[in-house]
Amino acid sequence: MLSRRIDDVKRETNIIKNGLVETNSAVSKIENKIENIQANVSAAIIDLNKNMERVSESLINDKVEKVEKRSESLINNEIKNMQVISESLNTEIMKQSVTVQKMLFTEKKRLREIAEKFENKFSTLESDMKSQMTLMNASLESTVDSLEQSMTGHKTQTNTSLVSMNTDLQYMMNATNQQIEVMNVEFRNMMEDSNLKIEETKSEIENQTNIKMKELKQDIQEKSIQSMEKINEVSQDILTRTSSNLQSAKSGINYRLNNAESRLSSISSKLTSLEREQDNQEDNIDGQIRRLSSRISKEEARKVAFSARLNTKHSYYSKNEKIIFDDVRYSYGGGYSSSTGIFTAPKSGTYLFTYNVESRDEKKAHVKLVVRGYFKTTAIVEGGPNLTGGNAGIAYLSYDDKAWIETSSLDNKYYIWPYRTTFNGILID
């Protein structure tokens, strides 16, 4: 009981020691986790700053690209509008040119018609003159004079008509050229106005873009400052909570360590008293063990035992023939001989002998136990294969007395099968 109590105390002590080791390892793990958390927070802050810078740059670049695209789109729209206006002016000029060309073509056609009429009249007059010359030979001179006067009048009228037509045509051409010059001047003025508007639009877009870029940068900087302040607040909060948790964990661990130390001190005192008691009991137990050892030694000195079996085959055994059990399976204290089959008592005392015999070929096997030359017990078996018979005997043998197994004296031949034919003996008192 005392040894069990000591073992229980030792196991409890080992459990407490293991708990202290686990507690220290847990404290080390908590400190490592806190260091890892601080490192992770610092790395997260650095990564967040980098991400904020990248986000700010990306936002600025996106805004700049959007503004540039919008400016380009506005400029392209203005240029397209100016191109549309220019195309419309060119279209109008082309329409005016076509109109003037149509007017010139109409006037030329009218002049050609007038010239053709004059030519027709002139040819008619020539034909009339020829007819009159043929008919009026007598009055040729007077007719010629009248014709000359008529031709002169007609030529004068024709020349006058041509001069007036040329004057009208020249006036119309001058008016057309003046209109074209006026239209060219208006077109140039419109182009100059368009260029001025484009320049003004560009400068206005650039000014608006610069203003928006400044506002965007200020907004991003303010947001970055606010984000950094929030990150610092969160990091400080995390560090504060981690430190407080670590402090509470340390206080709890210290409390547990103090309790464990007090328990260890009480256990150590108990263990000391138990060890003293165990020493006293061990001294008593050692005395008992010495006494038992001497008794066991004495008993061992008196111990005698053997076990042997038949291993050699014989065709048959004669009557009163000793059976030699030539396979010794166990022997302590000596006494049995595997060459003669005789047990010689090495010590005086009471012995127990057992023996067993197996028949062969459905024939008889009949044996007996002989002690100091006298018959003690017998065993017989017959009538089938794998049949065995056995018996036992108890006898007091003095030192150097002998015992053995032999066949019966009733028949001349006995058929004994080996392996399960055995002979055993032991000193019992």
Helical packing angle, 2-135 and 140-302, nearest 10°: 170
Residue 241 has pLDDT above 70, yes or no: yes
Q: What tens digit of pLDDT does each residue of 149-183 get?
A: 655 665 576 567 656 766 766 776 677 677 767 77
Query: Which one has a higher pLDDT value, 305 or 277?
Result: 305
CA nearest neighbour of 302 among 341, 348, 256: 348
Query: Which one has a higher pLDDT value, 81 or 323?
Result: 323
Q: What tens digit of pLDDT does each residue of 178-218 get?
A: 776 777 677 677 777 767 876 776 777 678 767 877 877 78
Chain centroid to Cα 397, Å, comes to 87
Report the pLDDT value the prediction gives residue 63, as an integer from 0 to 100: 66
Could you tell me if 96 and 212 are in contact, meaning their C-beta atoms sit under 8 angstroms apart?
Answer: no
CATH assignment of 303-427, among 2.60.120.40, 3.40.50.300, 2.40.37.10, 2.60.40.60:
2.60.120.40
136 pLDDT tier (thresholds 50, 70, 90): low
Q: What tens digit of pLDDT does each residue of 356-415 get?
A: 999 887 789 999 999 999 999 999 998 767 789 999 999 999 999 999 999 999 999 998
Average pLDDT of the chain to the nearest whole number? 78
Report the pLDDT value the prediction gives residue 350, as an integer from 0 to 100: 96
First to last CA, the chain: 36
The Cα–Cα gap between 388 and 11 comes to 58
Domain boundaries, the chain: 7-234, 303-427
Report the pLDDT value the prediction gives residue 413, as an integer from 0 to 100: 92
**Which of 35-44, 153-162, 230-239, 350-359 is predicted most confidently?**
350-359
Query: Which one has a higher pLDDT value, 344 or 149?
Result: 344
Report the pLDDT value the prediction gives residue 255, as an integer from 0 to 100: 79
* Eight-state DSSP code of residue 363: -
3-state SS, residue 315 = coil
Q: What tens digit of pLDDT does each residue of 297-337 get?
A: 666 667 999 999 999 988 899 999 999 999 999 999 989 99
Query: Which one has a higher pLDDT value, 149 or 143?
Result: 149
The Cα–Cα gap between 346 and 344 comes to 6
Structure tokens at 60: 């600025």
3-state SS, residue 309 = strand
Report the pLDDT value the prediction gives residue 280, as an integer from 0 to 100: 80
For 41, residues 6+ apart whose C-beta sits below 8 A from its C-beta are 235, 238, 239
Structure tokens at 221: 């900087």
Report the pLDDT value the prediction gives residue 274, as an integer from 0 to 100: 77
Report the pLDDT value the prediction gives residue 192, as an integer from 0 to 100: 78
The Cα–Cα gap between 332 and 424 comes to 12
Mean pLDDT of 36-48: 73
Report the pLDDT value the prediction gives residue 294, as an integer from 0 to 100: 72
Look at the block and give the residue holding tokens 């392996």.
419
Report the pLDDT value the prediction gives residue 5, as an integer from 0 to 100: 64
Query: Which one has a higher pLDDT value, 65 or 368?
Result: 368
Structure tokens at 376: 């003690």
For 126, residues 6+ apart whose C-beta sits below 8 A from its C-beta are none
The Cα–Cα gap between 203 and 201 comes to 6
Residue 37 has pLDDT above 60, yes or no: yes
Look at the block and give the residue holding tokens 């166990």.
330
* Eight-state DSSP code of residue 323: P
Residue 108 has pLDDT above 80, yes or no: no
The Cα–Cα gap between 209 and 71 comes to 8
CA nearest neighbour of 35 among 260, 276, 246, 280: 246
Report the pLDDT value the prediction gives residue 273, as an integer from 0 to 100: 78
67 pLDDT tier (thresholds 50, 70, 90): low
Total residue length of the chain? 429
